[in-house]
Amino acid sequence: MIDQTEVAELKKTASQVRRDIVRMVHAVQSGHPGASLGCTEFFVALYFKLLETGATFNPDGINEDLFFLSNGHISPVWYSVLARKGYFDVAELATFRKINSRLQGHPATEEGLPGIRVASGSLGQGLSVSIGAAQTKKLNNDGHLVYALTGDGELQEGQVWEAIMYAAHNKVDNLIVTVDHNGQQIDGPVDNILSLSDLKAKWQAFGWQVIESDGNDLEGIIEALTKAKSLTGNGKPVVNLMATQMGYGVDFMVGTHKWHGIAPNDEQLQSALDQLEETLGDY
């Protein structure tokens, strides 16, 4: 059982992260709030509960867990969680997508933002990168894990399936991939654009261990990632098919692709903030 006091604390963090997301996107009238909100519980669970990292950011990540974000457009949630975790000052969230910022529209390494190890945003590449990093961990006899997050629409990219095949063939079993299965992409529902059909059967057929989770249930996602962790080290990679709702936490954004890459106006921002308690202090 997970300690309920801790769960309550993590839920407070999640509420603040959601405030950060809508405020960041509103301030610059640009960015991707939908899937950022949908993945908030995942990021909070990962960074505040699961991920074993050193006290300071080390780009080489030796003897610590690594995380790679393949669907880089959900940078607002990642930046907020990194800042709230102490990787950089929360005040820097105000620079998101602005000129001379380390918080680029999509995550990048060039400006040296702590927490980022590879650029992402052009979809389909992050899984390959995370597998490579996992194989280096094996060569280095580093027993820590590599986590990655990918979108579901992103699975339409062919490179992802090259990577899925490769990881199973090469027994990359120190890797936990999570799919943000929100069923939406820019042009509409994934099922209408290019259906993924039975994702579970597909990953299983490719030789992965598959678990399923509810990504907007904080306790559920902690349990799922803990279970995923227990499945590592036995010769097969692990995938967590995580059902989420785009825009979760803000009633008028939830469950639609329409807020994929749209910023709220002043009234909409206020309405969103009214639904999200300020728990850790706005940046």
Partner 1 sequence: MTKYTFTEKQDTRSGFGAGLLEVGRKNENVVALCADLIGSLKMGAFQKEFPERFYQVGIAEANMMGLAAGMTIGGKIPFTGTFANFSTGRVYDQIRQSIAYSEKNVKICASHAGLTLGEDGATHQILEDLGLMKMLPNMVVINPCDYNQTKAATIAIADHHGPVYLRFGRPKMPIFTPEDQKFEIGKAINFVEGSDVSIFATGHMLWYAIEAEAILNEKGISAEVINVHTVKPLDEEAILRSVAKTGCVVTAEEHQINGGLGDSIAQTLARNNPAPIEYIGVNDSFGESGKPLELLDKYGLSTENIVKAAEKAISRK
Residue ranges in contact with partner 1 by CB under 8 A: 59-62, 66, 68, 108-110, 117-122, 124-137, 139-140, 142, 158-159, 162-163, 165-166, 169-170
Task: Compare residues 123 and 253 and give the one whose CB is closer to partner 1.
Answer: 123
Identify whether the C-beta of residue 152 lies closer than 8 Å to the C-beta of residue 181: yes
Single-letter amino acid code for the residue at 14: A
* Smallest distance, partner 1 to C-beta of residue 143, A: 13
At closest approach, how far in Å is the CB of 122 from partner 1? 5
145/134 Cα distance (integer angstroms): 7
Distance (Å, rounded) from C-alpha 245 to C-alpha 38? 5
> What's the min distance (Å) between Cβ of 166 and partner 1?
6
Which residue lies nearer to partner 1 by CB, 20 or 142? 142
Instruction: Estimate the crossing angle of helix 158-169 against helix 126-139, to 10 degrees.
Output: 20
Task: Between 67 and 259, name the residue whose CB sits nearer to partner 1.
Answer: 67
Residue 102 Cβ vs partner 1, minimum distance, rounded to whole Å: 15
The encoded tokens of residue 30 equal: 């640009």
C-alpha span between 212 and 242 (Å, rounded): 6
Min dist CB 220 to partner 1, Å, is: 29
User: Got the DSSP string for 117-156?
Assistant: -S---STT-HHHHHHHHHHHHHHTT----EEEEEESGGGG
Cα 270 to Cα 70: distance, rounded to the nearest angstrom: 31
Least Å distance, CB 256 to partner 1, is 29
Strands 188-189 and 184-185: antiparallel
Question: Which CB sits closer to partner 1, 30 or 63?
Answer: 63
Q: Give me the count of residues in the chain.
A: 283
Query: Which residue, 68 or 283, has its beta carbon nearer to partner 1?
Result: 68
Cross-strand bridge partners of residue 241: 179, 212
Nearest-approach distance from CB 120 to partner 1, in angstroms: 7
93/175 with CB nearer partner 1: 175
**Contact predicate 184/248, CB 8 Å:** no
Choice between 123 and 273, CB closer to partner 1: 123
Q: How far is the CB of 20 from partner 1 (least distance, A)?
A: 25
| Angle, alpha carbons 124-127-128 (nearest 5°) | 95
Nearer to partner 1, 26 or 117 (CB): 117
Alpha-carbon dihedral 36, 37, 41, 44, rounded to 10 degrees = 60
